[in-house]
Structure 1
Amino acid sequence: MRGEAVPPAILPGQSPARRGRGFLAAFLRDDSGNPTLEFTIVFPVIMAMLLAGAELGMIGLRHSTLERALDLTVRDIRLGTGQVMQHDEVKTAICRRAPFIDNCDHSLRLEMVQLDPRNWSGITARPDCIDQSRPVSPVRNFRNRTQPNDMMILRACARITPVFPSTGLGRGVTKDGAGKFSLVAISAFVQEPE
């Protein structure tokens, strides 16, 4: 029968070394444990890819939600309904439109910077994000008292907890002291004249 280990016949007067070789040959011929071995090698790789895919999907969902919320809020600011939105109002409007950002009121930080398009200097490369493992710092830059035709850049940074923080993509992203990573969305607009 194939698949069953048949011990070699022990003949009288056979040396222990020869008997050992016979058992070893029978052991090597036996293939009854192959599926288990393949499963233990392949399963962790497949699960890591599955968890990384789920993590990437959640990151994409949260990031697109943040981008859309920022764009809709910037549209409200740009159209200028007669009122100048301040920091807390802008933050509340973004959080109201971004349901997948957990604890948005405490994890979102905004920067609004006025730039001169004729003398471009850009904004700082590092976004102003909240690190919940450190003491609270004031908002770095938020200026919404602008003149007509001023170019403004609004940058939002949300701190997000990974879905699977110890596997695959969740382990690989750069995190702060509280174990959260940054999602950054940027939008530019020109203040319309009244």
Structure 2
Amino acid sequence: MMRLVPSKLARFWRGQAGNATVEFVIVFPVFLTLFLFSLELAIITLRHTMLERGLDIAVRELRLGTGSAPQHDEIKQIICDNAMIIASCNSTLRLEMVRTNIRTLGSLPDDVNCVDQSEEAAPVRTFQNGQQNELMLLRACVKYSPLLPGMDLAQALDKDGAGQVAIVSKTAFVQEPL
């Protein structure tokens, strides 16, 4: 009986059966992780691109308006109508618009004011309609939940108390004279 064990062990060691399975078990998790990482990054990029698109269209309507200065809710609606992929855009989008001097070129505050669903609702931070030929800075911030919150990419992003991540887009424009 003891003589059979080494010979069976040697035969098992030399056998080729199952090599593909071992390679698959080692390589497949790496490829799956890369695929899921790519998927999450693609969705983040798509959301950011659509927010940029919505903001660009809204600013174009502001600059080339027919004499009426759209207010906060109207601008927000234009952005949400054109940023089609952002879920519940009207409730998660936060706009901030301030006048700035063309010569001194002020800027928006560094801390981005986004909707944090883990806290109580905060009012609009700053939203000023400009006069003719004034430089306006407009920032849009939208929150979303990552597709795969347990993956490395989602873990690396800054999240709020509700586990949501912010996408921020900024633009500047000059109020055209009537």
Does 2:168 correspond to 1:184? yes
Letter in 2 for 1:152: M
2:75 aligned with 1:90, yes or no?
yes
Q: Which residue of 1 aligns with 2:41?
A: 56
After superposition, the C-alpha distances for 1:81-120 in whole angstroms (9 at most, x for unaligned) are 1111111111111111111000001110000011112113
- 1:25 maps onto 2:10 in alignment: yes
The answer to whether the 8 A contact 1:113-1:154 is kept is yes
Q: How far apart are the structure 2 equivalents of 1:152 and 1:121?
A: 10
Structure 1-normalised TM-score?
Answer: 0.84
Q: How far does residue 168 in structure 1 lie from its aligned partner after superposition? A: 4.1
**Match for 1:167 among 134, 151, 156?**
151
Q: How does 1:83-162 map to 2 (within 5 A)?
A: 83-144=68-129, 146-162=130-146
Compute the RMSD of aligned alpha carbons.
1.8
How many angstroms does 1:24 deviate by?
Answer: 3.8
For structure 1, which runs of at least 5 residues remain unmatched after alignment? 1-9, 11-15
2-structure distance, mates of 1:49, 1:174: 21
Q: Determine the C-alpha separation between the residues in 1 that align with 2:99 and 2:26.
A: 55
Q: Given residue 163 of structure 1, which amino acid in structure 2 is its aligned partner?
A: L
User: Structure 2: where are the runs of 5+ without partners?
Assistant: none
Q: Which has the larger radius of gyration?
A: 1
Alpha-carbon distance between aligned partners in 1 of 2:8 and 2:158, rounded to the nearest angstrom: 53
**Amino acid aligned to 1:181:** V
Counting aligned pairs with the same residue, the percent is 46
Matching residue of 1:4:
none
CA shift in 2, pair 1:174/1:81, >3 Å: same
Q: Does structure 2 retain, via aligned residues, the 8 Å contact 1:51–1:168?
A: no
Give the TM-score taking structure 2 as reference length: 0.91
What amino acid is the match of 1:72? Answer: I
